[in-house]
Amino acid sequence: MILNYAQPLEVSNLTSWLDTFLRSGLPNFWVLFIEFVLVGALLLAAYAIIALILIYAERKITAFFQARFGPNRVGKWGLLQSVADMIKILLKEIIRINRSDRFLFFAAPFFMIVASVLTFGAIAFGKGLHAIDFNVGVLYVSAVSSLGIIGVLLAGWSSNNKYAMIGAMRSGAQFVSYELSAGFALMTIVVLSGTMQFSEMIEKQQYCWNIFNGHISSMVAFVIYLISGHAETNRGPFDLPEAESELTAGYHTEYSGLQFGFYYLAEYLNMFIIASIATVVFLGGYLPIQVHGWDGFNQAMNYIPTYVWFFGKTGVLIFLSLWVRWSFPRLRIDQLLNLEWKYLLPINLVNILIMVILVMTGLTLTDLFPGLF
């Protein structure tokens, strides 16, 4: 098993040490309390930091796709650019819009950010770096990540602005459609791995990632998940809700300052969340590459800490999403819905059926070559 290998750089060493240290002097309640607060604070900090890094990476990669340099003036290679942007956005005024629904207008960004933080908590960043691990993890993630759309719809409704309203409605239609595909793609893998708990799902992929284990069916599910995840984050060719040439800025037209920052942050984090869930479900999560029998190789791979593996895999998927974003032109709304209802959904349904047959008849790779995978 994986635990047989030395993993000197793991964070779990630190966390278990902290836990025993706290337990040695404090009653159970306070230990839990302190740990909860610590985990919460760390998650929020990670949320903000990952968003800053993503914004920088996105701007750089975008620039490279367009044969430009991207930000390169603030700090070395522009590394401090997104920090400077954050400070600027914190200092900006939060504008009150006349004749808007005040309460909903202020509440909307929180829906967005809370939904994405809740999902963020369920991501396994590495061994021992996993805050929320329900036995229905997949269900939980698809449930709370869909809360964000309420924020979008409320924003569009309460701004009292036609652009915002149309943007929000488009976003709603798009989100509802593609959530279906994303859910079915995840279900395909749930069929394959027989569990909805993320940690178990990851452990099962030690020698054979799910994307290879279910071969054809998994690959199709992976592609569909990436497409629909991409569409859910309102990016790339699916950015109709904020199509700036038609709708100014879509649902967040009227927002400024920190509230706009919330939407901005949530958008980037959603991209990260989609990529990391795809990592966990399809690419073996934080597990290093392992091959049966190659002990030296496995040992070497295990020296690389699990969080590096996780962020590496996620990074590749994020790059893929940016690559798609800068390759394809924006879809029209009818094309968008066509793609979902006429192509992705039927393929997905057939795909689940194929996966069920594969699992029932023992045609997955682990069943076919038990010694190898």
Partner 1 sequence: MNSISKYFSGLFTGIKSLIYGMSVTWKELWTKKVTQQYPENRKTLVISERWRSELTMPHDENNEHACTACGICEMNCPNGTIKVTPKFIETEDGKKKKILDTYQWDLGMCTFCNLCVLTCPSDAIQFRNTFENAVFTRGKLVQQLNQEGSKLREKKKEIPPKSPEGGLKD
Instruction: List residues near partner 1 by CB under 8 A.
Output: 64-69, 323-324, 326-328, 342-343
Minimum Å distance from CB 324 to partner 1? 7
Residue 344 CB neighbours (<10 A): 24
CA-to-CA distance for 142 and 334, rounded, in angstroms?
25
User: b/e map of 292-323 (b: 16 or more CB within 10 Å)?
Assistant: eeeeeebeebbeebbbebbbebbbebbeebbe
Minimum Å distance from CB 181 to partner 1? 15
Minimum Å distance from CB 192 to partner 1? 23
DSSP track, 268-286: HHHHHHHHHHHHHHHS-TT
| Of 174 and 321, CB closest to partner 1 | 321
| Of 3 and 67, CB closest to partner 1 | 67
CA-to-CA distance for 67 and 248, rounded, in angstroms?
26
Pick left, alpha or beta for residue 307 (phi over 0 → left; psi -120 to 50 → alpha; otherwise beta). alpha
Minimum Å distance from CB 346 to partner 1? 9
Minimum Å distance from CB 258 to partner 1? 32
| Of 162 and 342, CB closest to partner 1 | 342
Minimum Å distance from CB 296 to partner 1? 35
| Of 30 and 64, CB closest to partner 1 | 64
CA-to-CA distance for 275 and 267, rounded, in angstroms?
13
| Of 67 and 360, CB closest to partner 1 | 67
| Of 78 and 167, CB closest to partner 1 | 78
Do residues 188 and 351 touch, judged by C-beta distance below 8 A? Answer: yes
CA-to-CA distance for 117 and 110, rounded, in angstroms?
10
Place of tokens 């045609």: 363
